[in-house]
C-alpha cells in the first residue's frame, strides 16, 4: 500500500509537470494547446520515417500530376509563410522542410508528417479533379503540420496511458481493475481521444481554407470536393465513434467558412480566386 501511494504521487507529480510545461499557443486560434513534444524532437524522427516510406513505395516523378502536386504545395506553403509573417510569427517555419510527393496507390488519401513532409496518393486525384481541388486537400494537410496536431495527439496519448497506469496501481482487486480498464478505455477513447481528433480535422479544414484562399485558390471548391467524397459511398461509423467529422458536417462547415476565407485572403491583396 505504501509503495502504491508513492508511485501514485510520482505519477501525479509527473502529469502536473508535463501539463504545466506543455501549454503552447496555437497561432491560428490564440488558444492554449497540450503539447509535450518540441519540434526539435519530433521533426528529425518524422523526416527519417518519411524517407523510409518513399523508399518502400512507388513515387511518381516527372508527370503532369506530380508537378501539379509540387506546384500547389509550394503555393500553399508560401501562403502560410505570408500569413505567419503578417501575424507576428516571423521564423515560425524555419525548421520546416517542405516536400511534396505523389505515390502510385489507389488509396483515396493524402497526409502530412510533422515538419511539412507530404504525400498524395494517386487514388485521390479523381476526387480532387483539378488544381483547385488539390489545393483543398493540400491546405488541409499543411494545416495539420502548422498547428502541430501530430505532437498534440502524441501528448494526449501519453496522458491517456499515464491515467491507465495510475488506475491499475490504485486498484488492487483484479475484478475491479478489469472493470476499470474496460470503462477507462472506452470512456477516454469516445469521450476524449475521438473528439480530440475530430477537433483537429475541423481546425485543419478551416485553416486550410484560409491558406488556399491566400494562395489564390477558390475556397468554394472545398465543399464541392467533399460532396464528391460523399458520393463515393461506403459505410462509415457514427460521427461520435469516428476520428473525422461526417461528410455532411464538413460540407456545412466548409460552405459557411468559404466567405470568411476570402475575406482573410483580401487582407493579402488577393481578390480573384482560381477555380
The tens-digit pLDDT sequence of the chain (275 residues) is 444 454 445 444 444 444 444 567 788 887 777 776 788 888 999 999 999 999 999 999 999 999 999 999 999 999 999 999 999 999 999 999 999 999 999 999 999 999 999 999 999 999 999 999 999 999 999 999 998 876 667 766 666 666 666 666 666 677 776 765 665 555 545 455 555 567 888 999 999 999 999 999 999 999 999 999 999 876 555 544 455 678 999 999 999 999 999 999 999 999 999 99
The pLDDT value given to residue 1: 43
Q: What is the largest CA-CA distance in the chain?
A: 69
What number of other Cβ atoms are within 10 A of residue 220's Cβ? Answer: 18
Instruction: Please indicate whether residue 56 is annotated as part of the active site.
Output: no
**C-alpha distance from residue 13 to each of 27, 88, 188, 192 (Å):** 29, 35, 21, 22
Per-position b or e across 14-53, b if 16+ CB within 10 A of its CB: eeeeeeeebebebbbeeeebbbbbebeebbeebbeebeeb
pLDDT at 46: 92
The pTM of this model reads 0.80
Which strands sit side by side in the sheet containing 110-113, from one edge to the other? 59-60, 99-103, 117-121, 110-113
Look at residues 257, 267, 261 and name the one whose alpha carbon lies nearest to residue 217.
Answer: 261
Partners of 118 in the β-ladder: 100, 112
Question: What pLDDT, on the 0 to 100 scale, is given for residue 198?
Answer: 76
- Given 141, 201, 203, 264, which residue is catalytic? 141
Q: What is the pLDDT of residue 6?
A: 41
Amino acid at each position: 500500500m505504501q509503495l502504491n501511494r508513492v508511485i501514485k504521487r510520482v505519477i501525479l507529480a509527473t502529469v502536473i509537470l508535463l501539463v504545466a510545461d506543455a501549454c503552447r499557443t496555437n497561432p491560428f486560434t490564440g488558444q492554449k494547446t497540450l503539447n509535450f513534444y518540441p519540434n526539435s524532437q519530433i521533426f528529425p524522427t518524422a523526416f527519417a520515417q518519411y524517407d523510409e516510406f518513399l523508399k518502400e513505395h512507388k513515387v511518381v516523378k516527372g508527370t503532369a500530376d506530380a508537378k501539379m502536386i509540387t506546384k500547389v504545395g509550394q503555393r500553399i506553403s508560401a501562403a502560410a509563410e505570408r500569413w505567419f509573417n503578417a501575424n507576428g510569427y516571423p521564423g515560425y517555419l524555419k525548421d520546416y522542410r517542405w516536400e511534396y510527393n505523389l505515390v502510385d496507390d489507389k488509396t483515396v488519401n493524402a497526409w502530412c508528417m510533422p515538419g511539412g513532409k507530404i504525400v498524395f496518393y494517386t487514388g485521390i486525384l479523381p476526387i480532387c479533379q483539378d488544381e483547385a481541388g488539390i489545393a483543398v486537400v493540400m491546405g488541409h494537410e499543411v494545416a495539420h503540420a502548422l498547428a502541430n496536431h501530430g505532437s498534440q495527439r502524441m501528448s494526449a496519448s501519453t496522458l491517456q496511458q499515464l491515467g491507465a497506469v495510475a488506475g491499475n496501481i490504485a486498484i488492487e482487486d483484479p475484478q475491479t481493475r478489469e472493470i476499470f480498464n474496460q470503462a477507462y478505455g472506452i470512456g477516454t477513447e469516445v469521450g476524449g481521444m475521438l473528439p480530440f481528433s475530430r477537433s483537429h480535422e475541423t481546425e485543419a479544414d478551416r485553416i486550410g481554407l484560409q491558406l488556399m484562399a491566400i494562395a489564390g485558390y477558390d475556397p468554394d471548391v472545398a465543399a464541392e470536393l467533399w460532396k464528391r467524397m460523399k458520393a463515393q459511398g461506403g459505410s462509415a461509423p457514427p460521427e461520435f465513434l469516428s476520428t473525422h467529422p461526417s461528410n455532411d458536417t464538413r460540407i456545412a462547415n466548409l460552405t459557411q467558412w468559404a466567405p470568411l476565407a476570402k475575406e482573410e485572403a483580401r487582407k493579402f491583396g488577393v481578390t480573384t480566386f482560381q477555380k
